[in-house]
Amino acid sequence: MAQLRASRLNDKQSIGRGFLTDFLPYGTPQRRLTFWLGIPILILFIVYLLMNNWILPSITRHGTEFPLPDFTNQALTEVQFAVEDLGLSHEVASYEYSPGKEKGIILNQFPIAGTKVKRDRVIKFVLSQGQKLLPIPDMAGRSVRQAMLDLEATGLILGEIAWAISDTLPERVVVFSYPAAGTEIPLGSPVNLMVNRGRATDFTYMPKLTGLTLTDAEKRLEDKYLKLGLVSYRIDENYLPETVLEQSEAEGNELDVNTEIDVVVSSTE
């Protein structure tokens, strides 16, 4: 019977031994170190998997990004519903004057089109304030040269000059402008002048020739009782051939009739 009990004890010991016990016997420092380090690492790994695959995505809505559409060149009143349908909100960052763009048109957006965004993102817009309008200064009684300087200081340019003949008004001065003084017109627009020639018929004013073809420039000189003088050529591929690049007299200068005006014209060879 004692022999049988010993056999049963041996069987229990053999059953208790396993793969891990073979490499890490009970009571050894290696086994204790493995459990002290392994169990915390395993717990950290499980926490990492939970955070990375379930908890963080639910908080940050990972995978819900979508590319932002292009809202530029559209009216804000037209796109604000589309912005809300995407779960976004918007605000106007600033206004800018923009020639050719009606007031309320979106000029720029931030983030730019194509940027991946999430719901609840705020989209900032820069809107057009429309065309900047400027009042025409009162130039009556001023010389043409001074009137041109007044226009440039305002942000406008000199247009055509027409002539009036009157003995009751000062000679060689602006009678009125058209459009009239005080009228608001877009930035950079031309303003035409009516100038009193008086009884004198031996002077005129230099027109703008640059940017015109040589043929058109010569015709404009003839309209102002001037003549085409020396024509020089300069190679400039930025302009079409026969385009006036320079003129010998500045625009608005008072000149005697039949004065010859030299010009520099573009050429491709």
Which residue ranges make up each domain of the chain?
66-128, 132-201, 205-269
Topology of 205-269 in CATH? Trypsin Inhibitor V; Chain A (3.30.10)
What count of residues does the chain have?
A: 269
Q: What is the pLDDT of residues 124-165, one digit of tens each?
A: 999 998 888 999 999 998 988 899 999 999 999 999 888 887
Reported confidence tier of residue 34, pLDDT bands at 50, 70, 90: low
Topology of 66-128 in CATH? Trypsin Inhibitor V; Chain A (3.30.10)
Residue with tokens 């051939």: 241
Asked whether residue 209 carries a pLDDT value surpassing 90, the answer given is: yes
- CATH number belonging to domain 132-201: 3.30.10.20
Say whether 205-269 and 132-201 share the same fold: yes
65: its two tokens: 């990004």
CB 125 within 8 A of CB 106: yes
Q: What gap in Å lies between CA 224 and CA 187, rounded to an integer?
A: 27
Question: pTM here?
Answer: 0.47
Q: Would you call 122 helix, strand, or coil by DSSP? A: strand
